[in-house]
Amino acid sequence: MRLLRGLGPRGPVYSGAVVTIGNFDGFHRGHQAVVSRLLAAGKSLRAPSVLITFEPLPLEFFAPERAPGRLQRLRDRVEFLRTTGLDAVWVMRFGATLANEPAQGFVERVLHRSLGARHVLVGDDFRFGKGRGGDFALLESMGRDLGFTVESTPTLADAEGRISSTRVRAAAQAGDFDAAARLLGRRYGICGRISHGDKRGRVIGFPTANVRLGAQPMALRGVFAGWLFTQRGDTFPAVANIGWRPTVAGTEQRLEAHVLDASPDLYGELARFEPLAGIRGEQRFESLDALKAQIARDVAAARAVFANPSLQQPA
């Protein structure tokens, strides 16, 4: 899969591509259905398939205070898309330049000149361009002039309604990770490379594997019991804090996972934490001693989760 970044190259990238556009946060079953439809169109037209997504997500740029927490970091989003068979993913930088580009200019610059679009797949409520001035009807109209067709993306629903990132997020935040898994088609998890932290956990007797999560807030915050998987094939029961670490005046968002009953050397490993149950919200403690006492209680709560006889270690 080819990865394109930025606002776009000056010249054409593809001729005759099939294209879809969206946030794709979480890459749930609805997103998977869109990509399947895109790949089918590409196969039928013998055309390269291109997915356009954004970083940051548009609402994070326009109204960060109202933007929902992310289900995935950008890296995770791209890695999931690599598994689909897409020919290219274009991660378009969403900033003032793109936000102020008229819808007609976006169609001509990106879809027509850069991708030579033959077929475009978007939702019938899709809006784009400066002031959200572009819509499905505009795409259809310009497509007739520029030589591409436009198709509405399929809506995938279950008994409770449309499958969406909003529903996945709500399920995860409510601690219903089984429901989140049904919407995603897999267990929900947070991925990243384990790096050196501040070593405070080791000092107070609870060493942690640390994953830096970036500047954009994640959907989950708090303490969770779950499985920690490594790329080399290890599986560990763990208790993890996800958040900004207010007790130590943390300035960056991290996942800090304490492995139960083991002290593996995981530095540099790619890992994935899959939460099973929420334990508590993130909170600030007045001292490291108070934090240490609470972590001991968190570990005990996590052990109770793993002691459930219905919980089997994943293969």
* One-letter identity of residue 85: G
**Structural domain spans, the chain:** 2-158, 189-306
Burial of residue 168 (CB within 10 Å: 0-12, 13-18, 19+) is buried
| Highest CATH level, class, for 2-158 | alpha beta
| Encoded tokens for 245 | 């670490």
Residue 308: what pLDDT?
85
Q: What are phi and psi of 142, to 5 degrees?
A: -70, -35
Task: State the Cα angle at 139 between 136 and 145, rounded to 5°.
Answer: 150
User: Strands 119-122, 149-152: parallel, antiparallel or unpaired by DSSP?
Assistant: parallel
Mean pLDDT of 124-138: 93
CATH numeric code, 189-306: 2.40.30.30
Burial 196-213 (b: 16+ CB within 10 A, else e): ebeebbeeeebbbbbbeb
pLDDT in tens, 37-80: 999 999 999 999 999 999 999 999 999 999 999 999 999 999 99
Are the C-beta atoms of residues 221 and 190 closer than 8 Å to each other? no
Mean pLDDT for 5-16 is: 81
Q: Hunting for tokens 């384990």 — which residue is that?
A: 194
Q: Which residues contact residue 203 at a Cβ distance below 8 angstroms, ignoring those fewer than 6 apart?
A: 288
Taking the model in full, what pTM does it have? 0.91
pLDDT in tens, 185-217: 999 999 999 987 665 555 566 888 999 998 899
Give the separation between CA 66 and CA 195, rounded to whole angstroms.
Answer: 30
Q: Which helix (H) or strand (E) holds 78?
A: helix 74-82
2-158 and 189-306 in the same fold: no
Instruction: Give one word for 5, left, alpha or beta, with left for phi > 0 and alpha for psi -120 to 50.
Output: beta
